[in-house]
Structure 1
Amino acid sequence: MDPDSSGGWRFAQCFGDKGEVEDITEADVISTVEFDSTGNYLATGDKGGRVVLFERNEQKKSCEYKFYTEFQSHEPEFDYLKSLEIEEKINKIKWCKRQNAAHFLLSTNDKTIKLWKVFEKSLRVVSESNHWDGQRSLPTPLSRLHLRLPKMTQQDNIIAAVPRKVYANAHAYHIHSISVNSDQETYISADDLRVNLWNLNISDQSFNIVDIKPVNMEELTEVITSSEFHPIHCNLFMYSSSKSNIKLADMRDAALCDRHAKSFEEEEDPTNRSFFSEIISSISDVKFSHDGRYILSRDYLSLKIWDINMDSRPVKTIPIHDHLRGKLCDLYENDCIFDKFECTWSGTDSHVLTGSYHNYFRIFDVDSLNDVVLQADKSAFKAKKIGGPLPGNKLGAKNGARGLRDAMQMETLDFNKKILHASWHPRESTIAIAATNNLFLYSAA
């Protein structure tokens, strides 16, 4: 395989049914993907309410994973007061830092957050008793001298998942974000209008720390779209809005953080205004860099990198979907314009990753803005079998667009195939990509 054709990135693994998109059951579509802080475990959640965990395969030299366990996290519910069906779809999964042999992770659907404990449990069975010696049955003992104590032997090891806490009834609107604090004691959950602060050990009480709900709902002009804790300072968190701004809030300042410490917003050029301006400028995801110095944000057409010390304009703006500017009307008609693409930093903060349509995704070098375009698609594992190069483009090619970058601009883009969710290994150049009902893993040398 020619590593230059894809910037050194190679297809490593694919989990899931490799059938045609038309045959996919909606419940199998992956709705979130998340590495833990060590990178040795990987979690996915799907629209059927299931959480699947993968464990690093230590027998392989490369970064490969194997199935670890699967459990049903959420079930469909019905809110009789609002005549509203609550889907079982997992919106987000966040790992807690490992403190002992067990794993703890938070998962949420639209209404209820659960803290799961996942641990190995040994199954023991009775091997000897008064009626059985392991191989054959024994006659009933006739005196107490013949009585024997039963003996237990270990039969098997199983992986169990139990919900330790259920944090319910705290959100009137759909939960879209959860983020565990660096203190590992608290976390935030956010819906369209509010951000709540929880203690991981207390499930029946939360504190509302941001509330942008107007007194009159007819005056509603913006909603919260994403929220995250600062990776180092436990008092700082940020939330983004549909009005193209990011607010940085400090919990030391006041109990209710409606007065933000900083607001990151770029003024729009009035000459570019159109009917779609507000929709495409809505921020779908925000992420702090691992050192906490920068903020990465994704809107419909671009990625932006902000310096936390400079709120006037982003330090870098990276166009992702410039080729779609002329198709906004069609994208509005088929609802694709409302797709919420996630973004993520590499473990070293040197690269950023985000998805696109037709199962394309892009990795950018933060300093040079050179990029790699890859496709999480059946062609990836076909290329691996044959031993051919991954479809891709030269990293930082001087002659401009080629390979997949040309293909991204084609009229034949399939808007039903989209890379919305991805996660980057915290210590290695390995990425996990959710492509409909498949989980793709790519590694770079």
Structure 2
Amino acid sequence: MAGNGGETTWCFSQVKGTLEDDVTEADLISCVEFNHDGELLATGDKGGRVVIFQRDPASKQCVPKKGEYNVYSTFQSHEPEFDYLKSLEIEEKINKIRWLKRKNQAHFLLSTNDKTIKLWKVSERDKRVTGYNTREESGRARDPARITQLRVPTWRPAEPMVEASSRRIFANAHTYHINSISLNSDQETYLSADDLRINLWHLEITDQSFNIVDIKPANMEELTEVITAAEFHPTECNLFVYSSSKGTIRLCDMRAAALCDRHAKLFEEPEDPHARSFFSEIISSISDVKLSNSGRYMMSRDYLGLKVWDLRMETKPVETYPVHEYLRSKLCSLYENDCIFDKFECCWSGDDQRLMTGSYNGFFRVFERACSGGRRGELTLEAARDAAARPRQPLRPRRVATTAKRKKDEISVDCLDFNKKILHTAWHPHESIIAVAATNNLFIFQDKF
């Protein structure tokens, strides 16, 4: 996308998943994540499954390159559980996936549901052992009476096979539902956050974690806010941020104290008293926070928009992007159908120059930052089935009518489908390839150029 005030160069690349109207709850995608080099793309769903896609080698050799992915591995990460002490069902839904940086031939990733975090190893096998003494090549046990000599088993080439194996299970450390996991830049520790606490883990130790943030009051009736998201700084291993339902973001330094109950910085935009309403507190709640790849900026997503903060300036955001301001007049009905509590995620492009987040009606927004002093570009695109019929063709920008007078190419606010919500998006770390989860489908788009 060029910085031209919103003209699109994005085009459809692929869609993964069935395009049927009958979709089971278990098939709904609940998270999307590229690995560090963008060669793999993982999705988690409400059925506890993780599906990993691998970049098609041929698509990288094309001119221009194509962003095409094939299924690499599918495995069941979490199963439904039952907490007998609290008489609560624990859903298998995958809340977050985070990739570890690759150190050898295998890939490692963390996945979590509401209570349990797992470390998975995903590896390829292209050899098999033959020449067993106690069993046949088919696996059937041999008659001991027929074993007359000992053999040394050998490795033989075999059909390549991808297998996922659980290497660590980090459990029993969260009383409330886990909403975030984030790997530290040291690649040895990670944090996990629930509504009231943030824990620090070592990847090699499963039976203990350190509580680094605890906002639970002595009397729960005095509770005024909850933690909504948390993330480590991309390069400074002692820094992390966490956001709250009150619209604040706290930057904490683990060098200051073992329990980071005192923040180093507090990022909060003062509220306009004239604009205050019954819904003010709900729509100011931050659903996602992401630090830029450079570590200088931070992006937060509330219900109606995106804000970009400079870590060196706490008083107000340096950039504000309205995502769907036209919904402000619909807040009452959105409250009644619970849509106002939807948690939209956001993501940075690899060069930190563009931002992406989702909306309703299958729409998602791409913003180009005006860092170079040029015009700021913004675009509304749609993850829709008809895009699949026009591969490599530029996507048509969508517009929502904000007044009663509707233009030909605009859609009325009253016609938006609030069941088609884009909550989860991901951006390739080095290229203009984006992944958008729409119900049970994963759409992949790329810059035409």
Q: Which amino acid aligns with 1:220?
A: L
Change over 3 Å in CA distance of 1:389–1:238 after alignment to 2 = closer
Q: Which amino acid aligns with 1:24?
A: V
Match of 1:398 in 2: none
Of residues 348-357 and 369-378 in structure 1, the stretch that sits farther from structure 2 once superposed is 369-378
> What is the deviation of 1:379?
1.7
Match of 1:108 in 2: 112
Q: Which amino acid aligns with 2:389?
A: K
TM-align CA RMSD:
2.5
Deviations 1:197-238 (A, max 9, x none): 001111111000000000000010000000000001000000
Match of 2:56 in 1: 57
Which of 375, 381, 393 aligns to 1:374? It is 381
Q: Which amino acid aligns with 1:390?
A: L
Instruction: Answer yes or no: is the 8 Å Cα contact 2:9–2:394 preserved in 1.
Output: no
State percent identity of aligned pairs: 60
Deviations 1:59-89 (A, max 9, x none): 1221211110000000000001101000000
Deviations 1:217-263 (A, max 9, x none): 00100000000000010000000000000000000001010100000
Rounded to whole Å, the distance in 2 between the matches of 1:187 and 1:131 is: 43
Q: Which amino acid aligns with 1:17?
A: T
Q: Which amino acid aligns with 1:45?
A: G
Partner SS state of residue 163, structure 1: strand
State the TM-score, normalized to the length of structure 2: 0.89
State the TM-score, normalized to the length of structure 1: 0.90
Rounded to whole Å, the distance in 1 between the matches of 2:10 and 2:423 is: 20
Instruction: Answer yes or no: is the 8 Å Cα contact 2:98–2:110 preserved in 1.
Output: yes
Match of 1:335 in 2: 338
Rounded to whole Å, the distance in 2 between the matches of 1:261 and 1:130 is: 64
Match of 1:202 in 2: 205
Change over 3 Å in CA distance of 1:121–1:402 after alignment to 2 = farther
Match of 1:397 in 2: none
Rounded to whole Å, the distance in 2 between the matches of 1:352 and 1:403 is: 28
Q: Which amino acid aligns with 1:59?
A: A
Rounded to whole Å, the distance in 1 between the matches of 2:101 and 2:93 is: 24
Q: Which amino acid aligns with 1:441?
A: I
Match of 1:305 in 2: 308
Q: Which amino acid aligns with 1:107?
A: S
Match of 1:47 in 2: 46
Change over 3 Å in CA distance of 1:189–1:147 after alignment to 2 = closer
Q: Which amino acid aligns with 1:33?
A: V
Instruction: Answer yes or no: is the 8 Å Cα contact 2:130–2:154 preserved in 1.
Output: yes
Partner SS state of residue 286, structure 1: strand
Match of 1:442 in 2: 445
Instruction: Answer yes or no: is the 8 Å Cα contact 1:342–1:420 preserved in 2.
Output: yes
Asked whether 1:383 is paired with 2:397, we answer no
Rounded to whole Å, the distance in 1 between the matches of 2:332 and 2:137 is: 76
How do 1:276-315 and structure 2 match up within 5 A? 276-315=279-318
Q: Which amino acid aligns with 1:372?
A: L
Rounded to whole Å, the distance in 2 between the matches of 1:148 and 1:290 is: 54
Change over 3 Å in CA distance of 1:255–1:104 after alignment to 2 = same
Rounded to whole Å, the distance in 1 between the matches of 2:150 and 2:226 is: 72
> What is the deviation of 1:372?
1.4
Change over 3 Å in CA distance of 1:166–1:402 after alignment to 2 = farther
> What is the deviation of 1:370?
1.3
Asked whether 1:16 is paired with 2:12, we answer no
Deviations 1:16-36 (A, max 9, x none): 01112xx10000000000000
Rounded to whole Å, the distance in 2 between the matches of 1:126 and 1:253 is: 57
Change over 3 Å in CA distance of 1:150–1:344 after alignment to 2 = closer
| Number of residue pairs aligned between Structure 1 and Structure 2 | 424
Rounded to whole Å, the distance in 2 between the matches of 1:344 and 1:24 is: 27
Q: Which runs of 4+ in 1 moved over 6 A?
A: 127-134, 140-144, 146-152, 401-404
> What is the deviation of 1:156?
2.4
Q: Which amino acid aligns with 1:306?
A: W
Match of 2:35 in 1: 36
Rounded to whole Å, the distance in 1 between the matches of 2:29 and 2:146 is: 62
Change over 3 Å in CA distance of 1:383–1:232 after alignment to 2 = same
Match of 2:94 in 1: 90
Q: Which amino acid aligns with 1:373?
A: T
Change over 3 Å in CA distance of 1:203–1:147 after alignment to 2 = closer
Rounded to whole Å, the distance in 1 between the matches of 2:29 and 2:318 is: 33
Q: Which amino acid aligns with 2:418?
A: F
Instruction: Answer yes or no: is the 8 Å Cα contact 1:130–1:149 preserved in 2.
Output: no
> What is the deviation of 1:392?
1.4
Of residues 367-376 and 29-38 in structure 1, the stretch that sits farther from structure 2 once superposed is 367-376
Gapped regions of structure 1 (runs ≥ 5): 135-139, 395-400
Rounded to whole Å, the distance in 2 between the matches of 1:141 and 1:39 is: 55
Rounded to whole Å, the distance in 2 between the matches of 1:131 and 1:214 is: 61
Rounded to whole Å, the distance in 2 between the matches of 1:26 and 1:132 is: 44
Q: Which amino acid aligns with 1:57?
A: D
> What is the deviation of 1:11?
0.7
> What is the deviation of 1:410?
2.8
Instruction: Answer yes or no: is the 8 Å Cα contact 2:133–2:147 preserved in 1.
Output: no
Partner SS state of residue 154, structure 1: strand
Rounded to whole Å, the distance in 2 between the matches of 1:13 and 1:141 is: 58
Rounded to whole Å, the distance in 1 between the matches of 2:135 and 2:260 is: 68
Asked whether 1:71 is paired with 2:72, we answer no
Rounded to whole Å, the distance in 2 between the matches of 1:435 and 1:442 is: 13
Change over 3 Å in CA distance of 1:198–1:391 after alignment to 2 = same
Partner SS state of residue 411, structure 1: helix
Match of 1:215 in 2: 218
> What is the deviation of 1:369?
2.9
Rounded to whole Å, the distance in 2 between the matches of 1:332 and 1:349 is: 33
Rounded to whole Å, the distance in 1 between the matches of 2:415 and 2:233 is: 41
Rounded to whole Å, the distance in 1 between the matches of 2:79 and 2:112 is: 11
Partner SS state of residue 58, structure 2: coil
Rounded to whole Å, the distance in 2 between the matches of 1:153 and 1:205 is: 41
Q: Which amino acid aligns with 1:434?
A: A
Partner SS state of residue 248, structure 1: strand
Rounded to whole Å, the distance in 1 between the matches of 2:102 and 2:417 is: 40
Partner SS state of residue 34, structure 1: strand
> What is the deviation of 1:124?
2.4
> What is the deviation of 1:92?
0.0
Partner SS state of residue 337, structure 1: helix
